[in-house]
């Protein structure tokens, strides 16, 4: 292999992990966007591979890719309205078509019917809205001639790795400050084959504040549970990514939309485990956002206006699930999210911390309560409204003396700071 040019980087100029991750932990909620040639076919972003569409035929989509209503300001505005704090978009998905102006291939939106660098517009729009900017980049590439050959052919591997590193360098050099680099599918190489270490070293030399996910096969800054909310080991930052229906890209036949309540439930579970939620939208062929996504995200945003303090920047909760809900925790307060509303009285068992004050976060109403520790731990709340004060999910704030702790035993192993995300059956 040719002598490797080590990028010049003063590593002491890279902020510590705690400094870099701070805004992202507080952000809690982000938007994912899947848009590409596959959007035109409207079935699946894996369509080229799943239907074995010949490359020459698939490439013709570029001539039809007009993106005439692609307006990333509308994405960024929607994200802000939804209470999301950062936006991550596909710069190149597995199909290999680039939405950014790369010098390394002609297969790009600049040369398509659209004739635009969509990522440039996207980056400007996201920053203008004051949100964090993230680039998704698929390492797997079905279009590049060496994308699969690299597995068995060393010369091909060198060419393909040079291509990949070159494109990532372009993304890190030509679009101003980038906050997140979100790799995807590193097939078919291993970390050594990709030189992932050198790749990410280069990325950090160009973007010292950046956060990098774990999909270049190195752990880097955060883990990425997909289509499920699952807390990772304590002290590991994580972000669950989920689709709003079943498909990442626009799919005209997929009507399996999550309800607002479902999305809030995912958000609660993420916040409860000290993680982030990355909720996806798949713009239509022309670039507009499906109305189903717009409506849901706006409703989530409205709910967050009132309940945001129970969602953003939460600690990993040392609390349990109760009938009808689970809680998030910050400081001395546990926020109990009522997925089911049982009426004017509610009892929570197992709270070991002394409760000082209870109020309905949803309305501000103070709530009467009694708390016993002997013979059993019960917090009984009375005088609550008969009907849920929120159409999706009301929240009750419970302030304790010290950090809220709740233990309900029954064979459950409860260790300080370690909590399996129970109540998943509820949310």
Binding-site member from 45, 146, 239, 390 for ligand GLC (CB under 6 A): 45
* Percent of residues in the chain assigned helix, strand, coil, to nearest 5: 30, 20, 50
Strand bridging mode 355-360 / 394-400:
antiparallel
Q: Please report how close the Cβ of residue 241 comes to ligand GLC at its closest, in angstroms.
A: 5
Decide whether 62 or 241 has the Cβ nearer to ligand GLC.
241
Q: Please report how close the Cβ of residue 248 comes to ligand GLC at its closest, in angstroms.
A: 5
Cβ density class 19-52: b for 16+ within 10 Å, e for less = ebeeebbebbbbbbbbbbbbbbbbbbbbbbeeee
Dist CA 345 CA 347 (whole Å): 7
Q: Does 40 bind ligand GLC (CB under 6 A)?
A: no
Q: Please report how close the Cβ of residue 34 comes to ligand GLC at its closest, in angstroms.
A: 6
Q: Please report how close the Cβ of residue 182 comes to ligand GLC at its closest, in angstroms.
A: 8
Binding-site member from 124, 226, 286, 422 for ligand GLC (CB under 6 A): 226
Decide whether 226 or 230 has the Cβ nearer to ligand GLC.
226
Decide whether 47 or 317 has the Cβ nearer to ligand GLC.
47
Decide whether 45 or 117 has the Cβ nearer to ligand GLC.
45
Q: Please report how close the Cβ of residue 278 comes to ligand GLC at its closest, in angstroms.
A: 8
Decide whether 93 or 337 has the Cβ nearer to ligand GLC.
93
Task: Please report, for residues 2, 330, 345, the alpha-carbon distance to residue 184 in angstroms, rounded to integers and kept in the order given.
Answer: 27, 32, 48
Q: Please report how close the Cβ of residue 94 comes to ligand GLC at its closest, in angstroms.
A: 6
Nearest to 132 by CA among 121, 123, 143, 141: 123
Q: Please report how close the Cβ of residue 366 comes to ligand GLC at its closest, in angstroms.
A: 44
* Binders of ligand GLC in range 243-272 (CB under 6 A): 248
Max CA-CA distance within the chain? 75
Dist CA 142 CA 257 (whole Å): 29
Decide whether 205 or 280 has the Cβ nearer to ligand GLC.
280
Residues touching ligand GLC, count (CB under 6 A): 8
Q: Does 199 bind ligand GLC (CB under 6 A)?
A: no
- On the 0-12 / 13-18 / 19+ scale of CB atoms within 10 A, 399 is middle
Q: Does 81 bind ligand GLC (CB under 6 A)?
A: no
Q: Does 239 bind ligand GLC (CB under 6 A)?
A: no
The residues, any chain, with a CB within 8 Å of residue 281's CB and separated by 6 or more, are: 31, 32, 33, 34, 75, 78, 244, 289, 290, 293, 297
Task: Read off the tokens for 389.
Answer: 């004060």
Task: Read off the tokens for 245.
Answer: 């229906």
Decide whether 225 or 324 has the Cβ nearer to ligand GLC.
225
Dist CA 46 CA 237 (whole Å): 28
Decide whether 135 or 248 has the Cβ nearer to ligand GLC.
248
Decide whether 70 or 182 has the Cβ nearer to ligand GLC.
182
Q: Does 70 bind ligand GLC (CB under 6 A)?
A: no
Q: What torsion, rounded to 10 degrees, do the Cα atoms 21, 23, 29, 33 define?
A: -80
* Binders of ligand GLC in range 126-185 (CB under 6 A): 184-185
Dist CA 132 CA 177 (whole Å): 9
Q: Please report how close the Cβ of residue 280 comes to ligand GLC at its closest, in angstroms.
A: 8
Contact 79, 87 (CB under 8 A): yes
Q: Please report how close the Cβ of residue 87 comes to ligand GLC at its closest, in angstroms.
A: 15
Q: Which residues bind ligand GLC (CB under 6 A)?
A: 34, 45-46, 184-185, 226, 241, 248
């Amino acid at each position: 292999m040719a002598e490797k040019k080590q990028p010049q980087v003063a590593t002491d100029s890279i902020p510590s992990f705690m400094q870099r991750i701070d805004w992202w932990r507080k952000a809690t909620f982000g938007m994912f966007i899947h848009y590409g040639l596959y959007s035109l076919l409207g079935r699946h972003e894996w369509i080229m591979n799943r239907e074995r569409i010949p490359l020459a035929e698939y490439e013709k989509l570029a001539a039809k890719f007009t993106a005439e209503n692609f307006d990333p300001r509308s994405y960024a505005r929607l994200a802000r309205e939804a209470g999301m704090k950062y936006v991550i978009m596909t710069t190149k998905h597995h199909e290999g078509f680039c939405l950014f102006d790369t010098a390394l291939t002609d297969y790009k939106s600049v040369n398509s019917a659209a004739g635009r660098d969509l990522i440039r517009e996207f980056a400007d729009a996201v920053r203008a809205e004051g949100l964090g900017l993230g680039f998704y980049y698929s390492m797997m590439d079905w279009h590049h001639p060496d994308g699969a050959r690299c597995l068995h052919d060393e010369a091909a591997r060198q060419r393909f790795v040079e291509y990949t590193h070159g494109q990532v360098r372009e993304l890190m050099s030509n679009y101003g400050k980038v906050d997140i680099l979100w790799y995807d599918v590193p097939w078919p190489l291993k970390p050594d084959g990709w030189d992932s270490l050198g790749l990410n070293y280069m990325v950090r030399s160009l973007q010292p504040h950046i956060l990098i996910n774990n999909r270049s096969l190195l752990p880097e800054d955060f883990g990425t549970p997909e289509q499920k909310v699952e807390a990772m080991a304590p002290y590991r930052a994580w972000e669950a990514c989920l689709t709003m229906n079943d498909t990442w890209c626009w799919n005209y036949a997929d009507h399996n939309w999550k309800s607002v309540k479902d999305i809030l439930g995912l958000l609660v579970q993420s916040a409860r485990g000290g993680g982030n939620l990355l909720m996806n939208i798949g713009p239509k062929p022309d670039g507009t956002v499906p109305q189903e996504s717009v409506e849901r995200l706006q409703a989530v945003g409205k709910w967050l206006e009132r309940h945001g303090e129970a969602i953003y920047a939460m600690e990993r909760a040392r609390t349990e699930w109760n009938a009808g809900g689970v809680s998030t925790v910050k400081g001395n307060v546990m926020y109990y999210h009522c997925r089911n509303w049982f009426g004017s009285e509610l009892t929570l068992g197992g709270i070991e911390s002394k409760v000082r004050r209870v109020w309905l976060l949803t309305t501000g109403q103070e709530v009467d309560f009694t708390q016993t520790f002997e013979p059993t731990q019960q917090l009984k709340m009375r005088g609550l409204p008969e009907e849920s004060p929120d159409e999706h999910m009301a929240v009750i704030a419970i302030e304790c003396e010290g950090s809220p702790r709740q233990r309900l035993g029954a064979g459950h192993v409860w260790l300080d700071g370690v909590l399996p995300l129970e109540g998943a059956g509820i949310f």
